[in-house]
Structure 1
Amino acid sequence: MSAAERLADRRERLISAAYSLFAHPGFHSTTIERLCATARISNRAFYECFSSREDLMRAVYDRCIEETLTSVGEAIEKAPPTLDDRIVAGIAEYVRFVTADVRRARVMHLEVRRAGNVLSGARQQAVAAFTKIIESSARGAGRTPPLDLHLLALRLIGAITELLIEWVLTDPAPPTDELVETCVFIFRRTFAADGSQAASAY
């Protein structure tokens, strides 16, 4: 391999190792030495790829977000063009995609918070990206909610986030179908066209 290929290979091995180790035993319990041992590279090689553990955590988190955004976006595109259908499809795909791998759920909703303020900017960017999806779906469906669309989208994202943290921390975890149903219930009440508390059969 060329020098660039070797560097890319080491970087991928570190991301793969961090994906598992940052999920369990967790970000603060994972040393650079353990990351390097798992990725089978030297400590010196670590700093050729990343400036710090936080830098590596950002790379892992960003990849999780990118993959989730792609999956959710595809589900919404395939859904019928009504706001209800599009958002329900997006919610269901988000919950199921994230919980399909507990490592992804832990990195995205638990360990990124434990990493501290250094990753707060990454979290805000992720929230902004998912908020944009909700806002675009609402506008694309020609739906005008009763209150500020951006704030309503943030409320929905906050609810989904807290439910997934509950899923990660609770043993036994609540069924994912119940998570989806709860999120859909919150969405339908939040986006009730007339401001009522029942936009649907819920």
Structure 2
Amino acid sequence: MSAAYTLYAKPGFAATTIERLCTEARISNRAFYECFGGREELLRALHERCVEETLAAVAKALHDAPGSLNDRINAGISAYVAFATADWRRARIMHLEVRRSGDVLTLARQRAIAAFAQLVEAAWADYPAPTPVSRRLVALGVIGALQELLIEWVLAEEQPPVDELVAAAVHIFNRSFTTVP
């Protein structure tokens, strides 16, 4: 898992062979296949671990946040961005390699987005909706915006400061979730 965490992040899933994984992990190909059915299964396991850890960090931040919607938005986004960017490999796997892997992570990605959407909807549930638009669709939209901000952070020659990512995401979430006069 450790070797895949590094290699799947860079040079990336497509460029990482089982032989390279085994060499990096200092295990035999046979030992690899005793644990995983292939590199795709390993990528799914690694992605699931990243998602579970991130969900836990965001859920804790939302639970600990003061009661206002703005405070909850700030807490959830700050936790997500801080956790994703604390390790560049996690950010790459969750936001870039998940897309580059093709069909390998399609269902895992959909499950992860659904789980984050449920967190967003639950955090927003006690507050009035600003428009008659579906809360679920708004949650999916703002999650997509946050993912694009993190892809920019991963790929940019000069990474935007994390606090700017948070500020941009908070702005997007606030405009989406609060009533605009």
When normalised by structure 2's length, the TM-score is: 0.96
Does 1:78 find its partner at 2:64? yes
The Cα of 1:161 is off from its aligned counterpart by 0.4
Distance 1:135 1:72 in 2: 13
Are residue 177 (structure 1) and residue 163 (structure 2) matched?
Answer: yes
Which residue in 2 is equivalent to 1:143?
128
Q: 1:1-202 alignment to 2 at 5 Å? A: 15-139=1-125, 141-146=126-131, 147-193=133-179, 196=180
Return the offset for 1:142. 3.5
Runs of 4+ in 1 over 4 A off after TM superposition: none
Counterpart code for 1:187:
F
Distance 1:176 1:42 in 2: 40
- Alpha-carbon distance, 1:130 to partner: 0.3
Is the Cα contact below 8 Å between 2:73 and 2:174 reproduced in 1?
Answer: no
Q: Which has the larger radius of gyration?
A: 1
Deviation digits for residues 39-64 of structure 1 (CA, Å, limit 9, x no counterpart): 11110111111111110000100000
Contact 2:117 2:136 in 1 (8 A): yes
In structure 1, list runs of 5 or more residues that go unmatched: 1-14
Q: Distance in 1 between the 2:109 and 2:156 partners? A: 23
Return the alpha-carbon distance in structure 1 between the equivalents of residues 100 and 38 of structure 2.
16
Structure 1 SS opposite 2:66: coil
Structure 2: how far apart are the matches of 1:172 and 1:91?
Answer: 22
In structure 1, C-alpha distance between the alignment counterparts of 2:38 and 2:45, rounded to whole Å: 11
Superposition deviation, residue 30 in structure 1: 0.8
Structure 2 gap ranges (5+): none
- Give identity over the alignment, percent: 58
Residues 44 and 104 of structure 2 are in contact (CA less than 8 Å); yes or no, is this contact kept in structure 1?
no
* Partner amino acid, structure 2, of 1:36: C
Distance in 2 between the 1:159 and 1:124 partners? Answer: 15
Measure, in 2, the Cα distance between the counterparts of 1:21 and 1:145. 44
State how far apart, in whole Å, the 2-side matches of 1:120 and 1:61 are.
Answer: 11
Cα distance in 2, alignment partners of residues 51 and 119 from structure 1: 15
Alpha carbons 2:44, 2:105 under 8 Å: kept: yes
Q: CA RMSD in A?
A: 1.1
Tell me the distance in 2 between the aligned counterparts of 1:20 and 1:80. Answer: 37
Of structures 1 and 2, the one with the larger relative CO (CA 8 A, separation 6+) is 2
TM-score by length of 1: 0.86
Q: Is the 8 A contact 1:83 1:143 kept in 2?
A: no
